[in-house]
Structure 1
């Protein structure tokens, strides 16, 4: 949709959308309530089937893969962020006993480059390296120690070049900057215009903000096992987020048809966006084909930090204006994101940042200019929140500054301007129901506050704990709020789909069971649980088996964008519904029921608790008997969401499928002498659609909150001159259970039209609001104008500093 509608047309459209959404909401709630659920169906807290094995240490992660006689692979990486390669000599490495193969760019048989959106990244650098850690060669040897010796024996003659590491300089220099890559230095730029760019309110606030580079920091490092196949292809088990995308890129670089690359998901030890991109897959597959032997390739922690893309650092400038009564009038913003050396998912991340830059607020006049640029810093790509946490930090700091300028309560300012169904977004898209923004911020504001600090407060509950020895009289308490929203599923006209196969059969013991087959990558989000719950609910059968996720079934798409419960869950539900219809039709025919009943068996027959029942006709048959008589029933279904539009030249379009809103309240204690912060409590109200698994929901929102807290206070991959200074968990600091308070969580349940059971993805939205809430609380505690995350101790106790080398200014 564009902004060309008249206000009357927009109002009519909004009313129609609201009425349609309300009807869909009521129908979805009624349908869900009417389900006859087993103890492990939809709506129940079903434990993860892999939970016990993960707790006792027997779950097989990708790094545990093993085959007798397998080779061990390692990758040689550039120590320089930018350099010419004058010579690569592998002769000494090849002569080492036990070395089976050494490969470089010259050995890549197919396409020399790969990429998630744009194929701009070389499999191996050939003539130039563009970031520290770029792969130059790979080896396979009989054991890991020999492989390490071979890497050390490869002689690479580099000519170091001055790295370009300032993304703002890239934007300002434009065409005058020397290109760092044949594709240029700008991955994408977007200029969004909505309303009148010259309209201003009576009250104005502006400032600049900086977001540091955050790493996904999953605990299980990258790993894969590649096995050469008789047909010249390769079979691979790998920890990834998108099997079919990996297959496409691997096949292209190996120069073989996709059907000869067969991928199976291995155990994933966390992802958060960091496994969307190819890392070691092509290297392992190439070495397996060259050697004719199984090859295991896995990273250690340092190589993991260097080998996968991170969250984009960002420099932001905002100007907000409002009426004296507190109504937002205009938002102007400038967003510069550092994409690093290669594109990854940078173009899509910028779309999210620009289109969410004004926040979940009603504002008629918006100007946002955004760039994501190439530098010689590490590549950046997908991470939980996908561009929204960066701008949410900025727009929420601005809302607090505006509340101060107006003399207004920050919660009331947010409530007064919060988006509601029928409002128009800066892209011209009409907000559809549900969008409980006002309810979310009001809910967290009403939650009970923790008791204040006193002399009786245990020292272990003070900032820094017992080792710091904080003086309770020097502790400052602060309370902060943030409201954010996050788009769900793939946007900008992407033809998004997910495929699933459901088979109802008799198991070896003669009881009915359901086998679900999907390529959905289980990375901790809970699909292994949800798929079974859906199958049990639709087919009334307790025993459900989830077949291994692999590429023998159609694509499930990426486990990202908060999409898999909606998309792959939708595919499983559609296939299960088809299986149920087929089974009931067969039974109706066998029972000699009328033809109209056979054509629409659900008019008479129902599946309940393992039985097929038609109470009015006096019919009752077990599912086991029906399957024994006529054999198994199977269906494959493809699920799609509604189509969206590409972003127009002025940043307008119906580009997002749906949204989820989240609000956080953070309470912090700050030791103003030691520069230490303790988060005392976090409250969260989040729009979750309908709850399919309450226990899994809580796990997702707690995890999302924890990563947002980490970005606010401690997590930063420090890059100086293109070199990563802290690529280990000794120096890259993560929040632990000692840093994260219990989450006071309220789920706002409004079914999402078009989604199975009215669900919404829940994992990303809390990350977007957690960071600005914690920063707001610290700002309230110490009265300092904090404009950078993560907050550093000297931000709390030293002289106030500018956010960068110099303050970024707007147009």
Structure 2
């Protein structure tokens, strides 16, 4: 079933080529965006609202401007262009004018000669607020209860519902008559933070032409440029962005953070401006994963054939739109899971509240719905008295399966094989060593009340942009002679966020052109748009663009005649080709029944979790988190395994520890002291089984690998915890008190 991975060229496609930034990062020598400096630089800082909902009565900046070392204080009156911005809908104020809608909303900016001076100046800005009632329950938003978050919406729609996705597939009434067993459950997912290594930061330098050069860590240079141009009132050729060192992203850098503010201050002062959030401000300064409340109902025959699913998903999008429209769409599209379900009725709602804005995070809505559907599948298996893996295998998608949206899966769909591989894997022995039992080195338990549980889950999601959004990417490849040897230069705007796209681009050039020396130029807006480093798309799309440019160069070289590449370059000079890779067009689903070919491709991953639970103390140890995933083609096997391990770690965090706690619109734990992420002591062994089933439409047959591990890892752990404890455990993260204070089934 699997294809072998092999590298035809040294350090080419299929080789575990070392990353050029790897040693620098391990040694602490890598230059992140927060390390940037410029001659004459001043520091920018942001004043943020302490209230989740309030009217701004007045702003007095006099005292702040008088502080020695302060060079500028800006408010909404100083925004030179459009007053609002946003990825999908421009509804977020650059600086709040008359209202604040969430705790942490930017109100004013300061530039000073020292970061401490800037922080002191912020405290001197006198903002008079009139607190207003806050809408914090997403159910109230759906019901139309409580205040409007936006009195007048940019999109012209009424109420607090951002989007209602309605999917109707088959005949649910007929399916109910066919079902012998029906189970339902309500499941919740907490608000997860991307918890990237490097907080938001950037450097803006005013230029002699009246424009600005911005060096920033981001996921999408050209979309940032588009939003900045509107806010700054400048054309694209005056707003030039270059990617600086990115300390992780996971969706949290898709939305603009420091970009517009730093540029405003630089243009206003005529001096370079650096902005760098501290960790607490970072929690306020970017979007998070949508918390979700979901209800699922499954009907099946006594033989275990699923005949219908009915689901209601409610995602809290917070105060502004960000990507909530497409996150709820993605969650709804895959609410039936990785299964052949002939009848489906799915309603997905994303809503406005006065909670922190939510947007993209690894898995993009499919994480939430996968947790719900996989949790309810285990409940269905118990009701049927069937092995949970057998139930999944019996109903697993295959190539040709029609999704609830009416689209047929036309690429590899090895859902059953992934599950079977995990089921065949031997279970790990009982834990030993200092971290082998719940409680670990704390010696809180000696295993008296420890029970072991095993849980399975599988997930599916789309790869690439969906719903009618064109997916394309541009690359430029140039061949020159340097020291008498051919050198290839690659130039794209693809954002290197840690996933390894810089390495893969060089591997593709070596494979296609046979040139050993490859230089990947810094990503910037001086080359065509690469799209976002998100949706597990960047290797496919930007890799396809690089491959296309290389093929065009090969054709030119053939036309030039006989001779080595060195000889041809010596005679004809540098050769350059630019190529735009464009994939097949997708289509939006219709509003009434949610039908349409919305996706480019699909990716599958499965997990088996083995957990030990101290049922008396509520302590959990994930002993093993085995995974099987189809990657199409492992372009760089070591990097692929790293992506899968990282995604599994984030899924573990969501399962048992990670949640941004918001009470009455206020964030209670904006620090890594109280927002817990997995450490090496929490991480289990993660054996990885890679399938390489080439996708027919992609370069080299590759498929996206970064997001699928986050789908199935969380529900696999939750299902293992349920198996160990006999508890319903309807919400993640599962906390110790959920285990010790709950009644057994």
TM-score range, shorter chain: over 0.9
Deviation at 1:769, TM superposition (A): 0.2
Q: Does 1:692 align with 2:635?
A: yes
Aligned twin of 2:528:
554
Aligned twin of 2:186:
208
How many residues matched? 736
Instruction: Give the whole-Å Cα distance in 1 for the aligned partners of 2:531 and 2:203.
Output: 22
Instruction: Give the whole-Å Cα distance in 1 for the aligned partners of 2:222 and 2:150.
Output: 30
Q: Which ranges of structure 1 fall in alignment gaps of 5 or more residues?
A: 1-21, 592-620, 803-811
**Per-residue deviation, residues 74-114 of structure 1 (Å, max 9, x unmatched):** 00000000000000000111111111110000000100000
Instruction: Give the whole-Å Cα distance in 2 for the aligned partners of 1:468 and 1:311.
Output: 34
- Secondary structure of residue in 2 paired with 1:231: coil
Aligned twin of 2:329:
351
Does 625-634 or 222-231 show the bigger shift? 625-634
Q: CA RMSD in A?
A: 1.5
Deviation at 1:574, TM superposition (A): 0.3
Instruction: Give the whole-Å Cα distance in 2 for the aligned partners of 1:515 and 1:428.
Output: 43
Native 8 Å contact 1:180 1:375 kept in 2: no
Aligned twin of 2:60:
89
**Per-residue deviation, residues 297-349 of structure 1 (Å, max 9, x unmatched):** 11000000000000000000011000011000110000000000001111010
Aligned twin of 2:36:
65
TM-score, length basis structure 1: 0.89
**1:344–1:151 CA distance, 2 compared to 1 (3 A):** same
Pick aligned residue for 2:604 from 632, 636, 661: 661
Aligned twin of 2:340:
362
Aligned twin of 1:505:
480
Deviation at 1:395, TM superposition (A): 0.3
Aligned twin of 2:144:
173
Instruction: Give the whole-Å Cα distance in 2 for the aligned partners of 1:710 and 1:664.
Output: 15
**Per-residue deviation, residues 155-211 of structure 1 (Å, max 9, x unmatched):** 00001112110001110227x853534214121111110011212111000010111
Native 8 Å contact 1:81 1:163 kept in 2: yes
Q: Does 1:765 align with 2:708?
A: yes
Pick aligned residue for 2:133 from 150, 162, 173: 162
Alignment of 1:9-408 (within 5 A): 37-173=8-144, 178-183=148-153, 184-198=159-173, 199-200=175-176, 201-408=179-386
Native 8 Å contact 2:625 2:686 kept in 1: yes
Deviation at 1:468, TM superposition (A): 3.4
Aligned twin of 1:489:
464
Instruction: Give the whole-Å Cα distance in 2 for the aligned partners of 1:88 and 1:525.
Output: 43
Deviation at 1:510, TM superposition (A): 1.3
Native 8 Å contact 1:335 1:354 kept in 2: yes
**Per-residue deviation, residues 477-508 of structure 1 (Å, max 9, x unmatched):** 0000001111100001111110000011111x
Does 176-185 or 191-200 show the bigger shift? 176-185
Q: Does 1:748 align with 2:719?
A: no
Native 8 Å contact 1:795 1:801 kept in 2: no
Deviation at 1:280, TM superposition (A): 1.1
Pick aligned residue for 1:626 from 557, 565, 568: 568
Instruction: Give the whole-Å Cα distance in 2 for the aligned partners of 1:801 and 1:164.
Output: 35
Instruction: Give the whole-Å Cα distance in 2 for the aligned partners of 1:480 and 1:647.
Output: 34
- Secondary structure of residue in 2 paired with 1:461: coil
Native 8 Å contact 2:727 2:744 kept in 1: no
Native 8 Å contact 1:480 1:666 kept in 2: yes
**Per-residue deviation, residues 112-157 of structure 1 (Å, max 9, x unmatched):** 0000000000000010100000000000001111111110110000
- Secondary structure of residue in 2 paired with 1:712: helix
- Secondary structure of residue in 2 paired with 1:568: helix
**Per-residue deviation, residues 724-776 of structure 1 (Å, max 9, x unmatched):** 00000000000011111121110111101111000011010010000000000
TM-score, length basis structure 2: 0.97
Deviation at 1:38, TM superposition (A): 2.5
Native 8 Å contact 2:133 2:147 kept in 1: no
- Secondary structure of residue in 1 paired with 2:65: helix
Deviation at 1:459, TM superposition (A): 4.7
Instruction: Give the whole-Å Cα distance in 1 for the aligned partners of 2:580 and 2:200.
Output: 30
Instruction: Give the whole-Å Cα distance in 1 for the aligned partners of 2:192 and 2:462.
Output: 21
Instruction: Give the whole-Å Cα distance in 2 for the aligned partners of 1:125 and 1:182.
Output: 15
Aligned twin of 1:614:
none
**1:711–1:801 CA distance, 2 compared to 1 (3 A):** farther
Instruction: Give the whole-Å Cα distance in 2 for the aligned partners of 1:540 and 1:185.
Output: 56
Instruction: Give the whole-Å Cα distance in 2 for the aligned partners of 1:85 and 1:572.
Output: 50
Deviation at 1:634, TM superposition (A): 0.7
**1:178–1:264 CA distance, 2 compared to 1 (3 A):** closer
- Secondary structure of residue in 1 paired with 2:703: coil
Native 8 Å contact 1:459 1:470 kept in 2: no
Instruction: Give the whole-Å Cα distance in 2 for the aligned partners of 1:185 and 1:126.
Output: 21
Aligned twin of 2:489:
515
Deviation at 1:801, TM superposition (A): 11
Native 8 Å contact 2:101 2:149 kept in 1: no
Pick aligned residue for 2:582 from 599, 624, 640: 640
Instruction: Give the whole-Å Cα distance in 1 for the aligned partners of 2:742 and 2:406.
Output: 43
Instruction: Give the whole-Å Cα distance in 2 for the aligned partners of 1:514 and 1:645.
Output: 37
**1:801–1:783 CA distance, 2 compared to 1 (3 A):** closer
Native 8 Å contact 1:72 1:143 kept in 2: yes
Native 8 Å contact 1:531 1:569 kept in 2: yes
Instruction: Give the whole-Å Cα distance in 2 for the aligned partners of 1:626 and 1:180.
Output: 63
Instruction: Give the whole-Å Cα distance in 2 for the aligned partners of 1:281 and 1:732.
Output: 26
**Per-residue deviation, residues 34-88 of structure 1 (Å, max 9, x unmatched):** x8x3220011000100111111111100000011210000000000000000000
Aligned twin of 2:540:
566
Instruction: Give the whole-Å Cα distance in 1 for the aligned partners of 2:309 and 2:124.
Output: 57
Deviation at 1:433, TM superposition (A): 2.4
